[in-house]
Amino acid sequence: MKNQLLFLSLISSVFLTAQDHSHRFPGAISFPDVPGYKTLKTDFHQHTVFSDGNVWPTIRVMEALRDNLDVISLTEHLEYQPHSEDIPHPDRNRAYELALNEAKDHDLLVINGSEITRSEPMGHSNAIFITNANTLLTEKAKDAFAAAKKQNAFVFWNHPAWYPQNPNGNPYLSDFQKKRIKNGELHGIEVINERDYAEESLALALENNLTIMGTSDIHGLIDWHYTEKGHDRPITLVFAKEKTASSVKEALFAGRTVAVFNNLLVGKEENLIPLLEACIKISDVSYIPNTQVLKVTLENVSSADLLFKNQMPYTFYSSPEVFTVPAMGTKTLQIKTLEVLGEIELKLSAIKTYVAPKTHAVLSRKVKVD
């Protein structure tokens, strides 16, 4: 009887473990939804052995599940296949097909994409939401962009500030790219690529109404390139109406994105402010008894540490003007209001966010005193 009970206990334990099984790890990336939209975590620039990466496509799916991503694309170089002697495959869609099959039993969207690789002035660009990568493999770069447009692809400019192509590290729009924008063949730009943020790229995005993107551009393992060095992978947060490929595509064309790397958030003001407001919850607004010192507790429900600077006319009792609300943690401010107020406008500059070059997003909220 004891053996039977032990056996049933083991079976029950295995079943419950299977039910609770998750590929996520404690440092998984997490951001809250914003009013009207789901906040989807995406990485649309990755490589495997089917171009110049070092891993099989299934590994990219496993990494994405572990990092709690919602959508990925494997964007192999169309023109550059350094592993072709070992992996001779003429179909440029093959990496996508392998990743799609690996992800079929998981809540992860895999989008077909490719990288159009040219030297300056054309540069490198990713075309995602394509239907057939092979038709983009053309002799002339302009024909590749035209083929992507014919497939209703979303196309963005990769690492514009990359110094091997721009020795001074400053991106600039060539006549080729200006024509692509005019023709509706270039829609976005990476302001964060790998571990690099370029404020000039942000300026180009705002000046030309390009969608702001952040990507890992990973070739090796995410663990080795980012995690072991204390970094999160760079991603694009996409604010979509629902978690479907068509909804993600609509959001990208509409420009509803924020680029994220570690604790750096970059996006248009209309996208970044609602995200910041959703990340910070406010509670316990009350005065310390017999004082004019107001306690306000800030809770950060995102996986990014958020750094703020006081913009109010009041100073703090026990904190410097610059402070951090840790990821998934709280920070209690003690504000010297000098008189007992029934309401206060909390105004804080988020100094590791950018809505324009050298311009931070500001969290501004009126809160009533308990």
Q: What are 291's two structure tokens?
A: 């004082």
Q: What are 231's two structure tokens?
A: 């970094």
pLDDT tens digits for 96-110?
999 999 999 999 999
Mean pLDDT, residues 252-271: 98
Is the confidence at residue 7, as pLDDT, over 70? no
Residue the block writes with tokens 């590290």 = 169
- What pLDDT, on a 0 to 100 scale, did the predictor assign at position 23? 57
State how far the Cα of 204 lies from the Cα of 208, in Å rounded to an integer.
6
Mean pLDDT, residues 331-346: 97
State how far the Cα of 133 lies from the Cα of 128, in Å rounded to an integer.
9
Residue 129 DSSP one-character state = S
- What pLDDT, on a 0 to 100 scale, did the predictor assign at position 116? 95
State how far the Cα of 229 lies from the Cα of 214, in Å rounded to an integer.
19
Cα Dmax for the chain: 81
- What pLDDT, on a 0 to 100 scale, did the predictor assign at position 153? 98
pTM of the model as a whole = 0.92
- What pLDDT, on a 0 to 100 scale, did the predictor assign at position 123? 86
Q: What are 323's two structure tokens?
A: 């402070």
- Work out the pLDDT band at 26, boundaries 50, 70, 90: low
Mean pLDDT, residues 270-280: 98
- Work out the pLDDT band at 18, boundaries 50, 70, 90: very low
State how far the Cα of 166 lies from the Cα of 271, in Å rounded to an integer.
30
Write out the H or E segment, with its range, that includes residue 209.
none
CA end-to-end span of the chain: 60
pLDDT tens digits for 179-222?
999 999 999 999 999 999 999 999 999 999 999 999 999 999 99
- What pLDDT, on a 0 to 100 scale, did the predictor assign at position 10? 41
Domains annotated for the chain, with CATH where assigned, are 26-267 (3.20.20.140), 280-368 (2.60.40)
Note whether 1 and 40 are within 8 A (CB).
no
From 350, 363, 370, select the one nearest 277 (Cα to Cα).
363
pLDDT tens digits for 54-82?
999 999 999 999 999 999 999 999 988 89
Work out the mean pLDDT of the chain and round it to a whole number. Answer: 92
Note whether 157 and 125 are within 8 A (CB).
yes
State how far the Cα of 175 lies from the Cα of 30, in Å rounded to an integer.
39
